[in-house]
Structure 1
Amino acid sequence: MTDGQDAREAQWRKWRSVADLYHAFFTGLILTVVTRRGTTDAAEFVFRVFRRQQQERFLPGLKKLGLDGLPPAVAAAQYHYLSNWIGGVHVEYMYETDRKAWIRYPPPRWIWKGTAICGVPGEVSRAMLRGWHANNGVALGDLRLGFVCTKQSVDGQDGLEGYYCEYDHPLELDQRLVFARHLEAPAFDAKTTPALPVDSWPRQRLEKAYRNYAMEYVKTAAPVIVQVFGPEDASYLLHLTGRLIGMQYFDEVAQAIGGSRGRATEFAAFLRSLFESQDDVAEISESEGQFEIRQQGWKLMADVADYHPACASVLTGLLEGLAAGCGRHIPVHLKPNSTAGAPFVWSIG
């Protein structure tokens, strides 16, 4: 392996560690809302997150993936198959007719990683389907398109599955997502599934897209939780989740991006590498054992129109948790800031 290839592999490992961290944060945030606010509030939050993502990303994603000329049911199903595959999510796609196409998310489920699936109520999973899958026909301008869910893994079934169906008549709101638990998806055949064009999706692009897939969930979830629950409650939920996830994931992230347990010196170096791995420019200065990291901007949130300062609790929570994972008594403080684009100044030690 050449030096250049070694450097690329190292970069890709860093990107994947960032993806794992943000993935864990998003799953953890849903569980935090379930346990602190209850099932009904969690379902509303999840519905709003997935509806917002669907409205912002579905139609542009169809075009980017070259699916916008397909029949509605096929286009919707292939979109879920390919876009999730890019993000490392295991999904199966089964074509039946131009008006009926299946998708299946077999275990283990990406979004409910590991033991997290035991804490997810069925109502929360249904909210995800209502937010995204049930609205694809509306986005496509075809009110005949609906989604039929045949299994939910959080209900103890062997995966989440269902099919897009183009009916002979327009569907009312409550008809766009229905359940048919007596049905089962056909067998998956990898040889008949669509694939991304290799020329336009080289390894470098796929690795960055893998990282961005997980980060985009947090980009959507942070402003949504502020709008749904208000800044004070949202800040608490984001901060608590960040602390918990940071403490749990420091060792895994440090192994990939570089870093070791220790004191403020080690944590400051780790933090700069983390910022760089998520495309944020950061500069470190030191004075008498105190470190200051100037994060030039928060690229993830830079173009979020309804950004609120409470969203920064994602970072404060994560960094405090990661610091606790690095070593005891490493204080981390963020200088108050009102916009996502202006510098964040962190004091450490």
Structure 2
Amino acid sequence: NNGVLLGDERLRFVATDLVFAGGPFDAGYFELADRPLSVEERLVVRLGEEKGRPGPPPALGPVEWPQARRDTALRKYNAEYAVGGLAEIERARGMAEAVLIAEGSHRSVFVSWARHLVRELGLGLVGDSLTRFVRLFVETFGLVGDRLEVVEDGVDRLVVHRFSRLAVPQYENWAVLPRVIEEAFARAWCVVSRVVGEEVEVTVEESRSDGAEATVWRFREIG
């Protein structure tokens, strides 16, 4: 689906080596067809075709690609890669399937990485359990360049999602993250909370997909 995400439906990938077929690695190359391709034509398998040996990527010039530009490109790519897969699942299999995969994959990734991120981001000694968990949420989305603001609301915390890269406008209804996907992420974070402290209920209070200025997440400690 690289061609779809890049806005050129002529792009396809040709696989020349596959580990499951006995190859030493997974390898291949991209090529442009002379016409837009159907979904079934975006991947072609030509095992054994010789197209050179894999090597390192070409170096990026420091003038055209200063470090700040590289960092921005990486954050944008990471965000679009994650959400683009869900958008394609929704297109091919429906939103219900995309929601299930969004919740399951998000939960699996962050249950696995939560403790490491707490250490890596220096959050181990940050305030109480709820404050620490909210900071983990904010810092995690910040890794892809999102901007979030924390607001106290009684004993709860509200996180206002001011700006997000988690969008793939190439897909219909994905110019902003659909509310049902945000709610899937919220349910996943409820489980993640138990990995790093007290259980926290995470819900979506407002959503940009409903026309709100910003998505607002509510965090409420349970118990």
Which TM-score bucket, shorter chain as reference?
Answer: 0.7 to 0.9
Corresponding residue of 1:121? none
SS at match of 1:335: strand
Structure number with the bigger relative contact order (C-alpha 8 A, sep ≥ 6) is 1
| Residue aligning to 2:196 | 326
Tell me by how many angstroms 1:199 deviates: 0.6
Contact kept, 8 Å, 1:282 with 1:296, in 2: the verdict is yes
Distance 1:342 1:324, change over 3 A: farther
Q: Does 1:159 align with 2:25?
A: yes
> 194, 213, 219: which is aligned to 2:83?
219
Cα distance in 1 between the residues matched to 2:88 and 2:193: 27
Shift of residue 302 of structure 1? 7.8
Report 1:96-245 matches (<5 A): 135-136=10-11, 148-162=14-28, 178-187=44-53, 194-245=58-109
Q: 1:56 to 1:166 in 2, by over 3 A?
A: closer
What displacement does 1:206 show? 1.5
> 1-side partners of 2:147 and 2:46: how far apart?
50
Matched, 1:54 2:3: yes
The amino acid that maps onto 2:86 is: A
Structure 1 residue 344: Cα displacement: 1.9
Partner of 1:260: 124
1:343 Cα offset (Å):
1.9
Alignment-derived partner of residue 342 in structure 1: 213
Give deviations 1:36-88, integer Å, cap 9, x for gaps. xxxxxxxxxxxxxx1xx3134165xxxxxxxxxxxxxxxxxxxxxxxxxxxxx
Structure with greater strand share of residues: 2
Q: What's the offset of the Cα at 1:218?
A: 1.8
Q: Give CA deviations for 1:299-318 in whole Å, capped at 9, x if unaligned.
A: 42284642233232453245
Maintained 8 Å contact 1:295/1:343:
yes
Q: Would you say the 8 A contact 1:235–1:310 is kept in 2? A: yes
Change (3 A) 1:202 1:230: same
Residues in 1 aligned to 2:100 and 2:32: alpha-carbon distance in whole angstroms: 43
Answer yes or no: is the 8 Å Cα contact 2:11–2:31 preserved in 1: no
If each structure's helix is expressed as a fraction of its own residues, which one has the higher value? 1
Give 1:321 shift: 4.1
Q: How far does residue 243 in structure 1 lie from its aligned partner after superposition?
A: 1.5
5+ residue gaps, structure 1: 1-49, 60-131, 138-146
Instruction: Report if aligned partners of 1:295, 1:345 keep a CA contact under 8 Å in 2.
Output: yes
Is the 8 Å Cα contact of residues 76 and 165 (structure 2) preserved in structure 1? Answer: no
Q: Distance in 1 between matches of 2:32 and 2:216?
A: 52
Q: What CA distance in whole angstroms lies between the structure 1 residues aligned with 2:160 and 2:22?
A: 47
- Give 3-state SS (helix, strand or coil) of 2:11's partner: helix
Give the one of 244, 248, 255 matched to 2:112.
248
Given that 1:258 and 1:270 are in contact with CA atoms closer than 8 Å, whether structure 2 keeps it comes out as no
For the residues of structure 2 that align with 1:274 and 1:164, how far apart are their CA atoms? Answer: 32
**SS class of match (1:331):** strand
> Which residue matches 1:65?
none
TM-score normalised per structure 1: 0.50
- For 1:259, the aligned partner's letter is L
Distance verdict in 2 for CA 1:332–1:203, change over 3 Å:
same
Matches of 1:153 and 1:181, distance apart in 2? 11
How far, CA to CA, are the matches of 2:19 and 2:69 in structure 1? 31
Identity of aligned residues (%): 18
The TM-score, its normalising length taken from structure 2, stands at 0.73
